[in-house]
A and B are shown apart, each in its own frame.
Chain A
Amino acid sequence: MSLRFDLVLESAGWLAQGLAMTYFVALVSIVVGLALGLIFATARSSSLLILRAPAIVYINFFRGLPLIAFLIWLYFGVTVAFNFQLSALSAGIACLSIQASAYLAEIYRAGLQAIPQAQTQAALSLGLTPWQAFRTVRFPQALRVIFPAIGNEFIGLIKGSALVSVLGVFELMRSTQQRVLFYQLPLEFYTTAALLYIISGIGIGRLFLIIERRMQT
């Protein structure tokens, strides 16, 4: 058996294109997820039941729904029932960001809980408004606590984005599958793709570690 990694190298352009799409999907999803997650984390910690209850349902529901079930439900099910069209890319990003927001909401909440109440009290007694106290005192500290967890979530999204290939988005998994079908070389192409995912994960982990160290000094 001879390995044909030379053909993998010849397809470098395809794989690079796929990898770029993978990063794009993950990046958009983490940004949307971070924004949505903060909203739901705030609602989840609210003293008003009318805000808290829907947030609890949302967070738990999307943490319990497998991504693949969510993807096919939205793309093949909901679009038929409610009669609208959605591109595979936007459906994929929507699912990934919604799921990420549910996980991130829990991460935010834990981070905010880790900041002592005395911090807020001190800020308020200095004359800051509750919003200012949150924005300039509690939130920056919480962000520092949860930063590694955000990095983990981002790596999770890179891995999760492989599932978006089910809908036909041309990301790394999809481009690899097409090359596998073309050359009939599953071992070479899947190994390369797996390595690209692993290296991306390690790289992002390192990047977050560097930023984390910067933030502490």
Chain B
Amino acid sequence: MQLSRDANLVGYQPDFGAVFANLDVILAGLVMTFVLAIAAMFSALILGLILALMQMSTWRPLRTIGVAYVQLFRGTPLYIYLFWLYYSFATVSGIRLTELTAGIICLATLYGAYLAEINRGALRAIPSTQSQAGLALGLSPWQNFRHVILPQAVRIVIPPTTNMFAGVIMDTSLVSAIGVAELIRVTRVASSETFRPFEMYTAAGLIYVVVVLGVSGLSAWLERRLSSRDRVALSGSRRLRRGILFGGLRS
């Protein structure tokens, strides 16, 4: 900081050339970010559906496990969970997880809990008359779930799930802490090599904002499209619920 006081006399000359010189490194980091986000999201989708069905099960032990899992993981900060899993897992089981595996497991198990809540809400939102009508038409319970309930629930679930994907992309940035070479990690390395932290971090931040806004824009578009078919207006309370969801999930 002593140095920068002298530098003030000449003024800081930003040089974004350093960013372009390291473009290949930054892109490799971005690819890793996407690998993490997509692998985690894919696993979380499956886990989220299983957990939602568990929570709605009529068999008590299954329901209790489902509810307890979701409550526990919704309260855990991702950052500490990452460190906990990465450093303690080997102590307990003797298996050493790679950074990438640990990162994907953490994101997937955490977002599985968030997605379970969305799925549960959607399954609840289907009127029970739909299920009764299906059964009255002679469908088996599985056929009824598969052909009547699920297609309707999927339509409700798609926009908030897409929004969750934006959250996953943002949260992959935390995985840098255990050493995965994703966007944040590579920009940190590059900025200490080029001595251009301002330019590097500005570039990284802008990349995140563009990607995340793109995905959440897609979510908003899907919501408009899917709801206009149902002629359901995007009411204030609905938007509020989305705000709660999004606010509740940070890190």
Contacts and interface: CB of A to CB of B under 8 A. Distances in A.
B80 A160 contact: no
Interface in B132-187: 166, 170-171, 173-174, 176-177, 184
A5 interface: no
Interface residues of A, number: 60
A148 B243 CA distance: 11
B208 A66 contact: yes
A111 B216 CA distance: 21
Contacts of A63: 212, 216, 246
B34 interface: no
Interface in A102-143: 103-104, 106-107, 110-111, 113-114
Contacts of B236: 110-111, 113-114
Contacts of A1: 91-92
B12 A81 contact: yes
Nearest to B248: A152
Dominant secondary structure of chain B at its interface with chain A: helix
B200 A77 contact: yes
Interface string A144-164: 011011001101101110110
Interface string A167-206: 0000001001100100000110011011001100110000
Interface of A: 1, 60-61, 63-70, 72-73, 76-83, 85, 99, 103-104, 106-107, 110-111, 113-114, 145-146, 148-149, 152-153, 155-156, 158-160, 162-163, 165-166, 173, 176-177, 180, 186-187, 190-191, 193-194, 197-198, 201-202
Interface residues of B, number: 57
B208 A65 contact: yes
Contact of A156 (B5, B176, B205, B251): B251
Dominant secondary structure of chain A at its interface with chain B: helix
Interface of B: 1, 4-5, 7-8, 12, 14, 72, 75-81, 83-84, 87-88, 91-92, 166, 170-171, 173-174, 176-177, 184, 188, 191, 197-202, 204-205, 208-210, 212-213, 216, 236-237, 239-240, 243-244, 246-251
A160 B171 CA distance: 11
